[in-house]
Amino acid sequence: MKELFDQVSYECSKQVTKYYSTSFTLATKMLAPEIRSAVYNLYGFVRFADEIVDTFHDYDKKFLLDKFEKDYYEAYEQGISLNPILNAFVHTVKKYNIDDAMVQAFIGSMRADLTKTVYKTQEEYEQYIYGSADVVGLMCLKVFVKGDVEKYNELKDAAMRMGSAFQKVNFLRDLKDDVELLNRSYFPNVNLKELDAESKEKIIAEIEDDFDYAFKNGIVKLPVEAKLGVYIAFRYYRRLLKKLKKTPSSKIINTRIRISNGLKISLLMRGYARYKLNILR
C-alpha cells in the first residue's frame, strides 16, 4: 500500500530531525500539525546532503552527492523513491510547488563544499549562503504560506535573511571543525585561525542586522500556523549569538558554543508565553 510507505517515509524524516537536532525538533513541534511533517521532510533532505559533504570522510563524497541528486530527480519523475527521505521530500516539493531552482542552488552549495575551502570575495560568500541557507528559508516559507503567492512575495526577503542569520551563527559556532577538520573559511578577508575582536564584532553586527530585519519584516507577519515555531527557532539562535558575543574572539576557535537541553526547554516555555501574551521580541 503506497499510503503506508509514504507514512513510513514521513516518519523517517521526522526521526532524522529528532536525532540530528533537538532544537529544530522542538521548534518544529510548535508548528501547526498540518505543516509539521512537510518541514520534517525538508530537514531530512538538507541534512542528508549536508552529512555527505561534512562527515562521510571515508567515502567518495562526490559520488554520493551526485547519486543523491540523480536519485532525487528520478524520484521526482517517477513520483516515488525507495529512499524514504527522498520519497518524503518529493511529496513536499510537489505539494507546495517548491521551485527546482531552489533545489539546484542548495545542491550547488553542497557541491562547493567538496572542493572550495576559502571564500575570498563577498560575492562568493553570499552565493554560498544563498544556496546553503537562504533557499532553505524559502522552501520553508513555501510550506508556511500554503500557496499564497502574495504572502510569499511579501515575506521572502525576511525568510532569506533569517536563513542567512542561522547559517552565519552556525559558521561561528562550528569554527573549530570548519577550520581544523574541514579546512574551510567562509567569511571573506578574515583570518579565522586568529580571529580578532574587530572582525568578530563586524560578523556579529552583520548577523544582528539579519535577525532584526527577519523579525520585523517576517516573523511578526507569518501565518498563525507557522509563527510560534519560527519564533522559537529565532529565540534559540539569538541565544546562541548572545553566547558567541560574550565569548572572546581568541576562544571561539577552541570552543563549540552549545545551548543545554534545559535552557532549550526554558527558551521554548518563555517563547510560548510571549507568543500567547502577544509580546514577541
Each residue of 202-217: pLDDT tens digit? 999 999 999 999 999 9
What is the rounded CA–CA span in Å between residue 73 and residue 65?
A: 13
Specify whether the CB–CB gap between 56 and 24 falls below 8 A: no
Residue 162 — pLDDT band, cuts 50, 70, 90?
very high
What is the rounded CA–CA span in Å between residue 119 and residue 121?
A: 6
Q: The whole model's pTM is what?
A: 0.94
Structure confidence by residue, pLDDT tens digits, 251-267: 887 877 787 878 777 87
Structure confidence by residue, pLDDT tens digits, 170-194: 999 888 888 777 888 898 888 877 8
Report the amino acid identity of residue 95.
Answer: K
Superfamily of domain 2-277: Farnesyl Diphosphate Synthase (1.10.600.10)
What is the rounded CA–CA span in Å between residue 227 and residue 182?
A: 35
Is the pLDDT at 268 greater than 80? The verdict is: no
Is the pLDDT at 271 greater than 80? The verdict is: no
Cell of 18: 529528532
Quick one: what percent of the chain has pLDDT higher than 90? 74
3-state secondary structure of 274: helix
Residues 6+ apart with CB under 8 A from 185: 117, 118, 119, 178, 179, 192
Specify whether the CB–CB gap between 195 and 177 falls below 8 A: no
What was the pLDDT predicted at 227? 94
The region of weakest confidence among 59-73, 83-97, 100-114, 168-182 is 168-182
Quick one: what percent of the chain has pLDDT higher than 70? 98
3-state secondary structure of 118: strand
Domain segments of the chain: what residues? 2-277
Is the pLDDT at 276 greater than 80? The verdict is: no
More confident residue, 75 or 250: 75
What was the pLDDT predicted at 277? 64
- Computed over every residue of the chain, the mean pLDDT equals 92
Torsion angle defined by CA atoms of residues 255, 230, 220 and 167, in that order, rounded to the nearest 10 degrees:
40
What was the pLDDT predicted at 249? 82
**Stretch 86-98: mean pLDDT, rounded?**
98
What was the pLDDT predicted at 280? 78
**Stretch 17-37: mean pLDDT, rounded?**
94
Specify whether the CB–CB gap between 90 and 142 falls below 8 A: no
More confident residue, 267 or 14: 14
**Stretch 158-174: mean pLDDT, rounded?**
95
What is the rounded CA–CA span in Å between residue 159 and residue 145?
A: 12
Structure confidence by residue, pLDDT tens digits, 215-247: 999 999 999 999 999 999 999 999 999 999 998
